[in-house]
Structure formats: structure tokens, C-alpha cells
């Protein structure tokens, strides 16, 4: 397996995004999002794109995992772990010894995976719940 950083096209994004059953945004919206993304990661198995994730954030203190998708036939085969490890390596190389926050909003189905990767549930004893608001 290999990962390519910052090569994700809008067409490949839409292919991987819809492979997991998500309703796709329009191509122009995806292109704008990709232009403003800190880094993209695409996992390949035998030159076949099997997973992706976007990393957004300020590049110094806060990083956020977005649009994490692995083709269903490749789930539970180490692709997600490989992508998380690639993100963490990228961040550590970017910020050195700084302490930074890596955050996400999980689907219920993926919660156990993220816990295995070291993410904590919110709320926890010292923090409130993760929250979001969709605007239309």
C-alpha cells in the first residue's frame, strides 16, 4: 500500500466519497474545498485508489480530519490505519515538537476504529461534546 499526498482531484474525491454511500456535493464545491485544504491523502492498493482523507486546519495548533472514506471492499484491511498514520506523520514533520490538536466528527459506525487509533470520545471528563451545525 502507498499513500500520495496532495494529488486528490475532484473527480477522484467524488468517486471515493460516493463509494461509502454519502450524498455528493457539486463538483465546484469540492474543487473549492480542495483548494483550501491543508493536505489530502489518497491510499492506493496495487495502483487502485481505495481511500482518502482531507486534513484541514491552521497548520500550527489545530488540525481536523474531514471526508475520511475507504471503499467498502477495502474496509477492515488496514487502509484507515495507514491513512491515520500518514496524517500523523505529516503533522509531526510539519510542526516538530509542538503539541497540537487532531480532531474529527465520527460516524457511529466508525467510532470504535477511531478509539483504537487513540482518539477520545467527547464529552470526556475534562471537555464538552464535539458539535457542528450544517448551514444551507
The domains of the chain are located at 2-107
Please write the tens of the pLDDT for every residue from 86-132: 999 999 999 999 999 999 999 888 999 999 999 998 888 888 888 88
Helix, strand counts (H, E) of the chain: 4, 5
Please write the tens of the pLDDT for every residue from 2-39: 999 999 999 999 999 999 999 999 999 999 999 999 99
Q: How far is CA 81 from CA 20, 70, 76, in A?
A: 17, 11, 9
Residue 135 has pLDDT above 80, yes or no: no
Which grid coordinates belong to 16? 471515493
Choose among 42, 125, 23: nearest CA to 82: 42
Q: What is the chain's alpha carbon radius of gyration, rounded to the nearest angstrom?
A: 15
Cα–Cα dist 35/50, whole Å: 22
Q: State pTM to two decimals.
A: 0.93
Provide the CATH topology of domain 2-107.
Aminopeptidase (3.40.630)
55: number of Cβ within 10 Å: 24
Amino acid at each position: 500500500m502507498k499513500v500520495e499526498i496532495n494529488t486528490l482531484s475532484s473527480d477522484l474525491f467524488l468517486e471515493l466519497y460516493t463509494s461509502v454511500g454519502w450524498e455528493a456535493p457539486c463538483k465546484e464545491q469540492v474543487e473549492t474545498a480542495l483548494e483550501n485544504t491543508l493536505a489530502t491523502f489518497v491510499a492506493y492498493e496495487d495502483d487502485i485508489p481505495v481511500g482518502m482523507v482531507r486534513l484541514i486546519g491552521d497548520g500550527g495548533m489545530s488540525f481536523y480530519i474531514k471526508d475520511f472514506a475507504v471503499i467498502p471492499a477495502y474496509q477492515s484491511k488496514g487502509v484507515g490505519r495507514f491513512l491515520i498514520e500518514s496524517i500523523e506523520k505529516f503533522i509531526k514533520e510539519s510542526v516538530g515538537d509542538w503539541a497540537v490538536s487532531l480532531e474529527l466528527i465520527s460516524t457511529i459506525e466508525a467510532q470504535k476504529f477511531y478509539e483504537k487509533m487513540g482518539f477520545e470520545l467527547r464529552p470526556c471528563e475534562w471537555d464538552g461534546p464535539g458539535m457542528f451545525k450544517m448551514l444551507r
